[in-house]
Structure 1
Amino acid sequence: MASPTVTRPVDAVTCLTVFVFLLLAIESRYVIGPLGGAGAPAQVVAVGAFGWWVCHQLQRPHAPPPALQPVRFALIAFALTLLVSYAFAMSRPIDGAESSTATLGMISLAGWMGVALLAHDGITNRGRLDQIVRRLVIGAALIGLLGVAQFFAQDALIRGFTIPGLRANLPLSDLATRSGFARPAATALHPIEFGAILTTVLPLAVATLRDSASDRKLIPALSLMAISLGIIVSGSRSALLCAVIGLLVLVATWSVRARIAVGIAMVALTAVVAMIIPGMIGSLTGLFTGFGQDGSVKSRTDSYVLVGEFVERAPWFGRGFSTFLPSYRILDNQYLLLVIEVGSVGLAAFLILLGTAFVVSWRNGRSAIRSADRNLSQALAGAVAAAALGLGTYDGLSFPTATGVLFLVLGITGALRRLVRENDLEHAASDPVPHVRTAPS
């Protein structure tokens, strides 16, 4: 008699995997028709994840034991500031366009909280956490490959694809160019968002490769290469800066030999790119030597006076999240946009959220007993740092794919802290002999 097939029950990682697939595989301009702007498939799953998390909290037979969860606390505090800002916006005279986008902003907020909180509280063990990290890395690698293909083909390559049941609420634009090179976006809305996704995942790709068994390094190595090439061909100055910051945070605790190996790998990659794509290195160098003549830089700095005028009118909770429309002005700086929309309180809450996730991961990277925990914690700190820097160069929360990746990373950060503490407590209880930690090789 054949043994029954063992099936894994649907858990948080199953839901998050579906979210990652829909987020990265389907352009965010495609929506479920009747739902309009709120109907991107990934967002529908994310909002469902929020409902799942809320139901689970309400159905608990008893309260969980008291434990400080700083990332969860910061997430909820940030959400509350946005809700207060929304209430203030709805209480003042507001036109239809702003009211509609503000409501869509609250739906997006529910999705961000759903992904982050489900990851934070729903990942039950380290094996499942590693699985969602690997799947996120592979997903980023695949859109990196698509971006590389778009770069060489000088075509979006996805124009003819349609998805039954979905409609496009935005037209697919042609590829942008810079210094004569195409700027791919893969399934993202803009090359900057494409670069932001890849630079956020880059440190996780490095950690995944380092922690893989010697006979299972092929896929992680190919994923890392695809992500790295995608960052280069994105033609984004902010992507290059964010990649450097993320890697610097990641290797901060590594041995000198490991840092030298990373330096050699970067030099080798630069040499390969110089041979395969003549003129590319000069184009990338020009991004940093022509600041004074760069119109995008001037546009950002010229916005400071305008921002000050709006902040004076509503300094504490702003004019309402998602109410400063792109038709008014594109600031290309999420922090400036936040201080207008949610005021100094909302901006502080967001900065505290990013800072909390970074500090939690950094401390995990220094104190965890297992080397795999230290490596992944440091990678998460690098991912948060890269994303935080990137948000200063574009209106990041207006781009759903990069924002979805960011909040998933924030949730994983909190989950890893919880799992590491549980593991270290179990280890301390079973092994009274102090464990001597060594620096990563």
Structure 2
Amino acid sequence: MARGSLVPETAAHAATTVARATGHRAQVDVTSDGAALAALGRTPLLLRVTAFSMFVFPSSMVIKDIGAAGTVPMILSCLLFVFWLASWIWRLHDPVRVRHPGRMAGVFFVLGIIVSYTALYGGWTGDATVTGLAAADRWLILAFASLGLILVAAESVKTMADAMQLLRWLLAGAFFCGVVGLIQFTLRVNPMEWVQLAMPGFTYNGGDTPFQARGNLVRVAGSTFHSIEFGVVSAMLLPLSIWRALYDQRGQRWFHWLQTALLVFAVAATVSRSGTLASVVAIAVLLPFLPRIARQRTIAALPFVIIALFVAVPGFVGTITDALGADTSDPSIATRVNNYPRVARMIDAKPWFGVGPGNYTVQNAQEILDNQYLNTIVSMGIVGLICVFIYLVLPGVAALHSARHAAFPALRCLAGASAAGLAVAAVCSVTFDSLSFPTFALSYPLLVGLSGAIWIMVKNEGSSPAPATTTPQTTRMD
């Protein structure tokens, strides 16, 4: 598919398209779960393709003249922001009326990066190098791309049918990523090399690690940059995949559950402590908001899932048990602990604005900060840490609030699934520098935007009459 076909012919037409998609409808369609989910979704094609592209087009392939920010999903995300801004400037839609915590979190993220970016360019944080300035530019682009995803997703997903449509595309991309991971794990072949060959005009920029040894197993990364990113992002999407499997009235149920099972396998194939923690957090947050029968069956199925993983991934249980039980003699843990004194010295040297966004550099693998919060306070200072903390924590808390107050089962479960995915991001940012990984850095704001849309739906559902029909989950789960 030609990239040009994804972009409207003129900016005015593009702005009009987004305005139609993001314009307010008279009433949120939550009259009944069945009616809401049976309707046709109306999310913008560009948003859906962007969600799909995050997992299909490798982030190691860039347009050379743009640099590391010139990946397909990054370019599409920036286009979303440009079209959203143009439609606002030309008064084709009014975003002021659309209020949700996700937008606040995205604005804080942008402000935190802008403050540190300005300090770097102004010389307040010391002499800047050409490489350092280029890294700061990439982070500024990431900030506006993330904000574009949040704004467009929150304002275009107006019904559960819209949410379902967007998730079909997002989970289709994740399914592709899972299939790549399965091939990598079983055949020790990297299909992403074939995808790279099919991208004329793009240059390989490096940075990806498709294979990595751990114990007797080989960790794989699917179409993401690293196995840890693969495991965490798969766990983030697992609750949403479960919601889709429960409520999607299109397609084959067995295939929906196959996609969900592949996400579970993806977490296992990474043999990652972060991935294991992420899956535990995801299920723990989601369970209270599942329909009763689905919750009971999920709890009953967990032991069989572990047994299936033991059979499908020989040595998995022993390897992950050894990893989880490791102490400071483990090189990975020792590196994290040994970095704390050095980080403290760097904070003392530049406490408020840090060394600049993206400007923390390492001389060797032992200096990598596998903690996004530590990485942030070093690179963006205390001001940046506060902003990033709000960005990573507030949307999950807001989604939990939505789940607790949603009246209708499908919407309550969707809010709970969104909260679970966002909670994974907030918790696992302690165990790896999450925003440095391109698939996580773009899929997370998409979930933030979705949670904003859910917030608005829950807020507006009080004006709708109570459902008079049987919900799809009751029919499908009994």
Normalising to structure 2: TM-score of the pair?
A: 0.83
Matched, 1:372 2:410: yes
Deviation at 1:167, TM superposition (A): 1.5
Distance of 1:65 and 1:278 partners within structure 2:
54
Cα–Cα, structure 1 residues 393 and 58, in superposed 2: closer, same or farther, change >3 Å? same
Q: Is the 8 A contact 2:235 2:278 kept in 1?
A: yes
Please name the residue that 2:113 is paired with: 82
Please name the residue that 1:182 is paired with: 218
Cα–Cα, structure 1 residues 195 and 142, in superposed 2: closer, same or farther, change >3 Å? same
Cα–Cα, structure 1 residues 364 and 21, in superposed 2: closer, same or farther, change >3 Å? same
Deviation at 1:319, TM superposition (A): 2.2
Q: Which one-letter code corresponds to 2:90 in the other structure?
A: Q
Distance of 2:310 and 2:463 partners within structure 1:
50
Q: Is the 8 A contact 2:369 2:432 kept in 1?
A: yes
Cα–Cα, structure 1 residues 343 and 173, in superposed 2: closer, same or farther, change >3 Å? closer
Please name the residue that 1:292 is paired with: 328
Q: Is the 8 A contact 2:309 2:316 kept in 1?
A: yes
Q: Is the 8 A contact 2:209 2:226 kept in 1?
A: no
Please name the residue that 2:229 is paired with: 193
Please name the residue that 1:30 is paired with: 61
1:262-281 mapped onto 2 (5 Å cutoff): 262-281=298-317
Please name the residue that 2:430 is paired with: 392
Q: Is the partner of 1:183 in helix, strand or coil?
A: strand
Distance of 2:402 and 2:218 partners within structure 1:
40
Please name the residue that 1:426 is paired with: 464
Cα–Cα, structure 1 residues 125 and 321, in superposed 2: closer, same or farther, change >3 Å? same
Deviation at 1:326, TM superposition (A): 3.8
Distance of 2:424 and 2:191 partners within structure 1:
28
Q: Which one-letter code corresponds to 1:129 in the other structure?
A: A
Distance of 2:238 and 2:421 partners within structure 1:
7
Q: Is the partner of 1:177 in helix, strand or coil?
A: strand
Q: Is the 8 A contact 1:30 1:168 kept in 2?
A: yes
Q: Is the 8 A contact 1:142 1:226 kept in 2?
A: no
1:241-390 mapped onto 2 (5 Å cutoff): 241-254=277-290, 258-327=294-363, 329-390=367-428
Residues 363-405 of structure 1, C-alpha deviation per residue, up to 9 Å, x if partnerless?
2111112111100100011001111122111111111111111
Cα–Cα, structure 1 residues 64 and 187, in superposed 2: closer, same or farther, change >3 Å? closer
Q: Which runs of 5+ in 2 are unaligned?
A: 1-16, 22-42, 469-473
Cα–Cα, structure 1 residues 149 and 90, in superposed 2: closer, same or farther, change >3 Å? same
Distance of 1:299 and 1:62 partners within structure 2:
50
Matched, 1:218 2:249: no
Cα–Cα, structure 1 residues 269 and 324, in superposed 2: closer, same or farther, change >3 Å? same
Please name the residue that 1:435 is paired with: none
Distance of 1:61 and 1:148 partners within structure 2:
45
Distance of 1:364 and 1:70 partners within structure 2:
11
Please name the residue that 1:206 is paired with: 242
Deviation at 1:77, TM superposition (A): 2.1
Q: Which one-letter code corresponds to 2:408 in the other structure?
A: R
1:94 corresponds, among 120, 124, 128, to 128
Deviation at 1:122, TM superposition (A): 2.7
Q: Is the 8 A contact 1:147 1:230 kept in 2?
A: yes
Deviation at 1:300, TM superposition (A): 0.9
Deviation at 1:89, TM superposition (A): 0.8
Q: Which runs of 5+ in 1 are unaligned?
A: 1-8, 432-437
2:154 corresponds, among 107, 120, 131, to 120
Distance of 2:150 and 2:180 partners within structure 1:
27
Cα–Cα, structure 1 residues 390 and 425, in superposed 2: closer, same or farther, change >3 Å? same
Distance of 2:214 and 2:305 partners within structure 1:
21
Residues 310-329 of structure 1, C-alpha deviation per residue, up to 9 Å, x if partnerless?
21122222222111124473
